[in-house]
Amino acid sequence: MTAQVATSSPRRPWGLIAASLVAVALAAIPVVHLVVRVASADPAELAAVFERPRIPMLVGNSVMLAASVTATAIALGVPSAFLLARTRLRWRGFWAVLAALPLAMPSYLAAYGWLAWQPSMKGFWAAWLVLSFVSVPYVTLPVAAALRIGGTGLDDVARTLGRGPLGSFMLGTWPQIRPAVLAGGLLVALYTLSDFGGVALFRFPVLTTAIQQAYSASFSRDEAAVLAVLLVSLALLIVVGEQFARGRAARRIQAAPSAGRRRMTPLGRWAVPAMTLLVLVPVIAVVVPVAVLVSRVLTAETLRAFDPANLASAIGNTVLLSAGGAVVAVALALPIGVLAARHRGRLVRAVESTGYLALGLPGIVVGLSLVFFSLSVVPALYQTALVLAFGYGVLFMPKAIGSIRAATGQVPTSLEDVSRTLGNSRARTWMTVTARLARPGIFAAAMLAAVSAMKELPATLMLRPTGTDTLAVELWQRTDVSAYGAAAPYAVALLLVAAVPAFLLSDARAGREATREAIAPDTQAGREANREVIA
């Protein structure tokens, strides 16, 4: 139970540890709620759930989908990031925004659009296609940022010693981006495990669809909780695995100092395949499904009355609620991210991994746990915007942790030491030095939480104030009556609104790169910054 201080701080940062524990306790509400429910359930009933012949198949499907989607997102995201950060690409800004765009696309909307066009799509391959392409930015964005900081000096040395282009990349650059790849892959894997909308539309049975069935047919929350505990166990394995792999990667980075020089590769005859890759991802994730839905508006037999005032209020609610959710997510993630960036030890690892777990749970499970929590603790706030924003914070805090950890890690501890020597308190130093320099990263964390909150549906249905509709809720109400035509305006509005934080994320990357280079061209802190960017 000790947090060993790795860097400059001479004492244990009790304040920071306390704040992290509070944050992690709030983030653990869904998991605790599940465990309590399972512990108090009838053991015979629980055993019956495990004895079902279908359970091994469901677990297998969940694992297979998470693994294949993560592998595909990495396989497409790393080359995309390389093109954006290391090649002489024309219209770089345009491509950067395009690469971030799939972040704005909810999986259920992408699946819905594809199905409207190709009704025969179903099962593993359909779910794999849509989830993979929608998830690629989770890898592209942090890896591109890591590539922008790192150098190619070591690659060049390898080249002069006779290695081929790929071999020298693996030797020089790969160790620098590996932590970012792992962090992005972690988010993709957890996102895939917890996704319900996309897999359900393609009729691919996994644990989340079984959880939904437990609620919908047997109205058995115990049965749902057992399945959710199974899901959380898988998430825990993935989180711990990523931490283990990251720990090894960190040691390797220190063994291989990154050289400051960065060579930009001319594309030459690779220009066309490169642009094909950069176009392919947003086309499959966004353009095809949206185009199909919009074309349905034009061909619909009868158009249900479209109410612009209704759309406007849904947009307003979506923006306000997701902004509130982003504030909460960042507030919860800050102590955890700072702790993870500056300190090591078993406690730090435990805090960080617990922070990630909620991301592996479907929204309906998290929503119900927060229903219970808010009714028990703050009944006066139940079904208010505050509780919903808090719910978004708990759900999407994991997406903010990595970005904050990386941004804090990039601030040289020597600057903090100077501030402390000048007599500033630890808190004041953090506010005036660390937070100021890490601000772009904190902003990116907020944007990532906001874009996720805008797309969220199941927890929103549980927690929203009665009568308050978000774009996702309006969209759900229209897809439920098989009305492709009526859904389209809301689908387009959701995409446009969510594209704003996605756009800022692609932009924020470039801004952060400038900050980082200004303060830490080739310091220990600069290498620390390689560890993770958005995750």
Partner 1 sequence: MRAHRGIALATTGLAAALALTGCATDPAAEEGTLTVYIGRDEALVGPLIERFEEESGIDVEARYAATPELAALLLEEGDRTPAQVFLSQDAGALGALADAGLEATIPAELADLIPDGFTSQDDSWIGVTGRARVIAYDGEQLAEADVPDTVDALTGEEWKGEVAFAPGNASFQAFVTALRVLEGEDAAAEWVAGMAANDPELTENNLATLDLVNNGQVQLGLINHYYWYRQAAEVGADNMRAQLKFLPGDPGGIVNVTGAAILKNAADDPEARAFVEFLVSEEAQRYFVEETFEYPLLPGIDAPEGLPALESLVNPGLDLSDLESVGESQRLLADNGLI
Considering only residues 269 through 328, tell me which ones interact with partner 1, judged by CB under 8 A.
300-302, 304, 320-324, 326-327
Q: Which is nearer to partner 1, 225 or 351 (CB)?
A: 225
Pick from 364, 395, 401, 534: which binds partner 1 (CB under 8 A)? 364
Q: Which is nearer to partner 1, 31 or 351 (CB)?
A: 31
Contact status, residue 450 vs residue 357, Cβ threshold 8 Å: no
Helix, coil or strand: residue 5:
strand
Q: Give the range of 74-82, 186-194, 286-294, 379-387 binding partner 1 by CB under 8 A.
A: 379-387
# chain residues binding partner 1, by CB under 8 A: 71
Which residue in 377, 396, 370 sits closest to 461, CA to CA? 370
Q: Which amino acid is at 57?
A: M
Q: Which amino acid is at 98?
A: L
Interaction of residue 372 with partner 1, rule CB under 8 A: yes
List binders of partner 1 among 499-518 (CB under 8 A): 508, 511
Q: Which is nearer to partner 1, 48 or 277 (CB)?
A: 48
Q: Which is nearer to partner 1, 130 or 139 (CB)?
A: 130
Q: Which is nearer to partner 1, 283 or 461 (CB)?
A: 461
Q: Which is nearer to partner 1, 245 or 385 (CB)?
A: 385
Question: What is the Cα–Cα distance from 55 to 210, expressed in whole angstroms?
Answer: 9
Least Cβ distance, residue 245 to partner 1 (angstroms): 31
Contact status, residue 40 vs residue 370, Cβ threshold 8 Å: no
Q: Give the range of 8-16, 92-100, 160-168, 439-447 binding partner 1 by CB under 8 A.
A: 439-447
Least Cβ distance, residue 61 to partner 1 (angstroms): 13
Q: State CA 476 to chain mean position distance.
A: 22
List binders of partner 1 among 104-143 (CB under 8 A): 119-120
x/- map, 183-222, partner 1, by CB under 8 A: -----------------xx-x-x---xx-xx-xxxxx-x-
C-alpha distances (whole Å) from 330 to each of 23, 236, 390, 398, 455 are 10, 22, 11, 9, 18
Least Cβ distance, residue 454 to partner 1 (angstroms): 12
Least Cβ distance, residue 467 to partner 1 (angstroms): 6
Least Cβ distance, residue 120 to partner 1 (angstroms): 6
Q: Give the range of 247-255, 260-268, 408-416, 480-488 binding partner 1 by CB under 8 A.
A: 480-488
Pick from 7, 157, 439, 492: which binds partner 1 (CB under 8 A)? 439
Which residue in 380, 430, 387, 427 sits closest to 407, CA to CA? 430
- Cα dihedral 210, 215, 217, 223, rounded to 10, equals 70
Pick from 133, 169, 396, 443: which binds partner 1 (CB under 8 A)? 443
x/- map, 45-64, partner 1, by CB under 8 A: ---x---xxx--x-------
Interaction of residue 2 with partner 1, rule CB under 8 A: no
Question: What is the Cα–Cα distance from 348 to 409, expressed in whole angstroms?
Answer: 15
DSSP for 443-498 reads HHHHHHHHHHHHH--HHHHHHSPTT---HHHHHHHHHTTT-HHHHHHHHHHHHHHH
Q: Which is nearer to partner 1, 96 or 462 (CB)?
A: 462
Residue 459's Cβ-count burial label (10 Å; 0-12, 13-18, 19+) is buried
Least Cβ distance, residue 473 to partner 1 (angstroms): 8
Least Cβ distance, residue 376 to partner 1 (angstroms): 9
List binders of partner 1 among 448-467 (CB under 8 A): 458, 461-462, 465-467
Pick from 446, 454, 475, 498: which binds partner 1 (CB under 8 A)? 446
Q: Calculate ∠ Cα 214-216-220, nearest 5°.
A: 45
Which residue in 194, 158, 163, 162 sits closest to 66, CA to CA? 194
Interaction of residue 384 with partner 1, rule CB under 8 A: yes
Interaction of residue 478 with partner 1, rule CB under 8 A: yes
Least Cβ distance, residue 389 to partner 1 (angstroms): 5
Contact status, residue 232 vs residue 349, Cβ threshold 8 Å: no
Helix, coil or strand: residue 40:
coil
Which residue in 535, 533, 522 sits closest to 256, CA to CA? 522
Q: Which is nearer to partner 1, 16 or 446 (CB)?
A: 446
Least Cβ distance, residue 350 to partner 1 (angstroms): 29
List binders of partner 1 among 249-268 (CB under 8 A): none
Q: Which is nearer to partner 1, 268 or 480 (CB)?
A: 480
Name beta bridge partners: 467: none
Contact status, residue 130 vs residue 111, Cβ threshold 8 Å: yes
Interaction of residue 423 with partner 1, rule CB under 8 A: no
C-alpha distances (whole Å) from 73 to each of 77, 167, 236, 265 are 6, 22, 20, 23
Question: What is the Cα–Cα distance from 526 to 529, expressed in whole angstroms?
Answer: 5
